[in-house]
Structures are given as C-alpha cells and as structure tokens.
C-alpha cells in the first residue's frame, strides 16, 4: 500500500486516494464515477460503485487491490489477467527497464526484445510451434489465426464450438457463440459453423463439404462457465481436420500459461494443433500482450508476405519485455499453483456441503474454477455480497448463474481461507435475500 493511516485515522500525503492536489479519497472516487458515467457508461459506473461500496481502485500489489478509502480487496477475478498477481516485481522491473531504454519500436528495424520474447514463448510451449504473431489482446490473436487459416488453406469456413467465446471484434465474434454478443451485428464474418462439443464426428461431416479452413476450440470454455471439452473428441476433431487439409487451433487465451495447471492444455493432451493462442496473463499482469504461436504451415501467408497482416503496436518492446519475465515467474510458482488448486478444490467441496440448495455445481482445474448457483438472481446476489466482504470474482457473461474463481499463483493459505469465509457468508446471506 502506497499510503498509510495515522493513529487517528487521517490519511498521509502518500495515500493512493489523494490526487496531486491533495483531494480527499472520497472526492477522487466521486470524480471517477462521474467521469465514467459521462464518458463511458452509467451502467459501468453503477456496477463499479456497487463493487467498491462507493470507493474506486487506487493501487494494487500481489493478490490485493487497495481502494481509495484505504480498504483492501482480495482479487480472485480480473478476468484471468493477474495470474501472477498485481505488480509482480520481476515483471515490473523488466518493463521499467524497457521503458527507460525504448518503449516502442520503429517497425523498420529488428528489435531484440521482441525477438527474444518470441523465442522464449515458443520454447515454453515445447519448441515445435516456431512462428509467433504478437497482438495486444485476445481478439487480436484469434483474428490473425483465422485470417492465416483462410489464406493458407484457400477456404472460407471456420468451425467453432457451441458455447465458445473467442472475443467481440467482428471476426472473432463470428466464432463466439452466445447471442448476447452477436445480436444486432449479424451478419458477422460469414462461413462460421458451431459444432456440438459432444459429437466426435462433427468435424468429419463438416469437412466433407470441402470448404473448411480450420476448427477452433477452447480446451476449457471459460466464459461459458468453466466447461472442459472432452480431449478425446478434440483429438478426433484435430485428426479429421488435418485429413481434410484444414487446421486445428487451440484458444488458450484464458486457460494457458498454467492458469489451468499446464503451459498448454492442448499440447499436454497430445492434440496435434497448428496454433496455440495466448493472452491475458502473458504480460504478467503488468502490460497487455497476446500471441498466436503457430506452425510453419499455418504461418505460411506471413512467411510469403509479412505485411499481409500487421499492426502498429503488435509486439512493441515495452510489452514484449514482460514476456520472458512472466514466463519465468509462472514456472517458478508452478508448484505453488498445484497447492493452491488443492485448497480451492477442498474449499469448494465444503461450500457445496454447507449450502447444497444454493450451490448446484463446481468445476475446474488449476487456478480456474466455476461455481454454479441455483439461479442467475442468486449468483448476482452472491457477487454483490462478495464485493461487500472484500472479495472480487469474475462473472460468466454467457452463463449468468456461474461465477469464476481465478486466484493468482501468489495467493497464500490465508488468502484462500479469507476467500472462502467471504464465499460462505455471501452465499448464506444471498440465499436468505432471494427467498424473501
């Protein structure tokens, strides 16, 4: 925490809730809510006001966020970005050094920092997927992977999975399944088909028409409620796609880099994918960066013409500097991740025993867990109650009855116990509220 409280409760000048002019923390939060309402969305301002109980976020470190009123919240949310917690020292230092040296690239010269980031990332996944395209967010990685598949195959159609979430840009949106995000935007990118995840023969039948460029899947559907797909079905899909001259692409933007226990769930399962898409924690929770890590064959259009797809800030050195530091930190904490996963699993089992009518199911692996509630209304009440008790989690926008728990690798046993104390209390209170 960058500020402190005196014995009488007054804030010091270093309190994160004060501006450069020394405004009280309450004014800082009120100004933030007013500006969000005016320049973004009143709904976003209202949701943030509920979550922070009238305060805004001001600083963060490790597993905690400090609010403008000095309270601290445990962050088991942040939509899977903060796998290393906030401001991991090794990642922050790497980015700080690059900021002092050269934050952006000329785009005309080779940058060693970006080149090293690509090599480290390829090695992290085993080394046989050699080609890398860096983007800024997950949708960037999806967009380039789909574009490459269509160019490399000369075919238009891309297969995705029912319940999938691959982003909200127009190309990625064609693969995202939920109507909430597609309504009013049809037609999106044409030639996209969504498959039944329980149907092993779905890709074979789709490819029989001769127009399929790729099949894209999440090994675990995060936004859809932390739903794992059957590895046996995915293996059959990859084989059938390749037999038909199409590509197989694993979207691990949420599940990869040991969020779900392994550097890549697809590669760990032995799936012969042509690309693994990564993002969210790739920048160590410090900077935004994503990547499509591809085979030579899929990447062929960019080997033939590297300007066929490019972006001004793709792979800028400030963000690329975070990648080697983040990968090293994740690997260094992998054992701790297994321990935390065990604590979470045990805590959820106890939560379900304690509240059997409210908690209808739990699923997950590693540091990615979904908790199902009896209704979307109950789930919403629980989320509000958790915020009031100092715990942030992530909702599932495609499945409103489910909340996601996304603890960081730096969480302690005390953090997990604190989280489950808040969960049990919030579920109990929400069940009473909903039953009235």
Q: What is the pLDDT of residues 342-368, one digit of tens each?
A: 999 999 999 999 999 999 999 999 999
Inform me whether the pLDDT recorded for 14 exceeds 50.
no
The pLDDT value given to residue 25:
63
| Same-domain pairing of 259 and 292 | yes
| Distance in angstroms (rounded) separating the CA atoms of residues 61 and 2 | 10
Question: pLDDT of 152-164, one tens digit each?
Answer: 999 999 999 999 9
The pLDDT value given to residue 23:
53
The pLDDT value given to residue 21:
40
Residue 80 lies in a domain: no
Average the pLDDT over each of 19-28, 150-159, 210-219, 398-407 and give the range with the smallest value: 19-28
| Same-domain pairing of 243 and 269 | yes
Which of 414-432 are b and which e, b meaning 16 or more Cβ less than 10 Å from the residue's Cβ? Answer: ebbebbbebbbebbebbbe
Question: pLDDT of 205-227, one tens digit each?
Answer: 999 999 999 999 999 999 999 99
Which region holds residue 263: left if phi is over 0, alpha if psi is between -120 and 50, else beta?
alpha
Per-residue pLDDT averaged across 412-433, rounded? 97
| Distance in angstroms (rounded) separating the CA atoms of residues 250 and 270 | 12
| Same-domain pairing of 177 and 244 | yes
| Same-domain pairing of 220 and 360 | no
Residue 151 lies in a domain: yes
Question: pLDDT of 63-96, one tens digit each?
Answer: 999 999 999 999 999 999 999 999 999 999 999 9
The pLDDT value given to residue 191:
80
Q: Kindly report the CATH number assigned to the domain that includes residue 154.
A: 3.40.640.10
Helix axes 296-304, 138-153, angle to 10 degrees: 80
| Distance in angstroms (rounded) separating the CA atoms of residues 408 and 289 | 18
Inform me whether the pLDDT recorded for 24 exceeds 90.
no
Inform me whether the pLDDT recorded for 323 exceeds 60.
yes
The pLDDT value given to residue 8:
32
The residue range of the domain holding 164 is 89-332
The overall average pLDDT reported for the chain is: 92
Count of the separate structural domains present in the chain = 3
Per-residue pLDDT averaged across 299-325, rounded? 96
The pLDDT value given to residue 6:
31
Question: Which of 57, 8, 56 minimizes the C-alpha distance to 29?
Answer: 56
Share of the chain above pLDDT 70, in %: 93
Share of the chain above pLDDT 90, in %: 85
Residue 360 lies in a domain: yes
| Same-domain pairing of 340 and 212 | no
Residue 270 lies in a domain: yes
Average the pLDDT over each of 174-178, 311-315, 319-323, 423-427 and give the range with the smallest value: 174-178
Confidence of residue 167 (pLDDT cuts 50, 70, 90): confident
Per-residue pLDDT averaged across 122-150, rounded? 96
CA angle 322, 328, 330 (to 5 degrees): 95
Judge whether 131 and 302 are in contact, CB under 8 Å.
yes
Inform me whether the pLDDT recorded for 132 exceeds 60.
yes
The pLDDT value given to residue 19:
40
The pLDDT value given to residue 185:
62
In DSSP terms, 251 is beta-bridged to 277
Confidence of residue 11 (pLDDT cuts 50, 70, 90): very low
| Same-domain pairing of 310 and 339 | no
| Same-domain pairing of 186 and 328 | yes
Inform me whether the pLDDT recorded for 16 exceeds 70.
no
Q: Kindly report the CATH number assigned to the domain that includes residue 410.
A: 3.90.1150.10
The pLDDT value given to residue 188:
63
Confidence of residue 2 (pLDDT cuts 50, 70, 90): very low
| Same-domain pairing of 29 and 106 | no
| Same-domain pairing of 232 and 361 | no
| Same-domain pairing of 137 and 235 | yes
> Final residue of a domain: which of 282, 307, 332?
332
Per-residue pLDDT averaged across 176-192, rounded? 73
Residue 76 lies in a domain: no
What's the alpha-carbon Rg for the chain, to the nearest Å?
22
| Same-domain pairing of 315 and 402 | no
Confidence of residue 13 (pLDDT cuts 50, 70, 90): very low
Residue 79 lies in a domain: no
Structure tokens at 44: 């976003």
Residue 65 lies in a domain: no
| Same-domain pairing of 227 and 113 | yes
Task: For residue 342, count CB atoms less than 10 angstroms from its CB and return exposed for 0-12, middle for 13-18, buried for 19 or more.
Answer: exposed
Residue 104 lies in a domain: yes
- Give how far Cα 73 sits from Cα of 77, 167, 347, 393, Å: 11, 28, 19, 11
């Amino acid at each position: 925490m960058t500020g402190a409280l005196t014995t009488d409760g007054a804030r010091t000048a270093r309190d994160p809730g004060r501006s450069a002019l020394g405004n009280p923390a309450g004014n800082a939060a009120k100004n933030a809510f007013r500006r969000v309402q005016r320049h973004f969305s009143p709904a976003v301002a209202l949701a943030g006001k509920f979550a922070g109980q009238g305060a805004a976020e001001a600083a963060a470190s490790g597993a905690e966020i400090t609010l403008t009123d000095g309270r601290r919240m445990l962050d088991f949310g942040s939509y899977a970005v903060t796998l290393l917690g906030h401001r991991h020292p090794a990642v922050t230092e790497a980015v700080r050094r690059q900021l002092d040296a050269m934050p952006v690239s000329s785009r005309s010269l080779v940058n060693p920092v970006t080149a090293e980031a690509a090599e480290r990332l390829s090695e992290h996944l085993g080394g046989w997927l050699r080609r890398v395209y860096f983007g800024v967010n997950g949708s960037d990685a999806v967009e380039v992977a789909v574009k490459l598949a269509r160019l490399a195959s000369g075919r238009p159609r891309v297969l995705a999975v029912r319940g999938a979430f691959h982003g909200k840009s127009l190309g990625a949106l064609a693969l995202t399944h939920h109507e909430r995000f597609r309504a009013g935007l049809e037609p999106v990118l044409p030639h996209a088909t969504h498959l039944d995840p329980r149907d092993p023969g779905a890709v074979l039948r789709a490819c029989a028409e001769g127009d399929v460029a790729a099949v894209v899947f999440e090994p675990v559907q995060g936004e859809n409620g932390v739903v794992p797909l059957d590895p046996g079905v995915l293996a059959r899909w990859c084989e059938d796609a390749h037999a038909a001259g199409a590509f197989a692409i694993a979207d691990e933007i949420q599940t990869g880099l040991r969020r779900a226990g392994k550097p890549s769930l697809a590669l760990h399962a032995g799936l012969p994918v042509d690309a693994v898409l990564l993002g969210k924690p790739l920048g160590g929770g410090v900077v935004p960066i994503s990547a499509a890590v591809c085979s030579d064959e899929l990447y062929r259009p960019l080997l033939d013409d590297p300007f066929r797809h490019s972006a001004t800030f793709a792979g800028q050195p400030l963000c690329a500097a975070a990648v080697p530091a983040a990968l090293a930190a994740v690997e260094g904490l992998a054992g701790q991740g297994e321990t935390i996963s065990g604590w979470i699993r045990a805590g959820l089992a106890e939560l379900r025993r304690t509240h059997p009518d409210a908690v209808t199911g739990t699923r997950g692996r590693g540091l990615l867990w979904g908790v199902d509630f009896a209704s979307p209304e109950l789930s919403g009440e629980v989320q509000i109650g958790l915020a009031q008790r100092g715990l942030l989690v992530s909702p599932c926008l495609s499945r409103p009855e489910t909340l996601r728990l996304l603890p960081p690798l730096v969480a302690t046993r005390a953090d997990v116990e604190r989280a489950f104390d808040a969960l049990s209390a919030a579920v109990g209170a929400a069940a009473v509220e909903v039953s009235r």
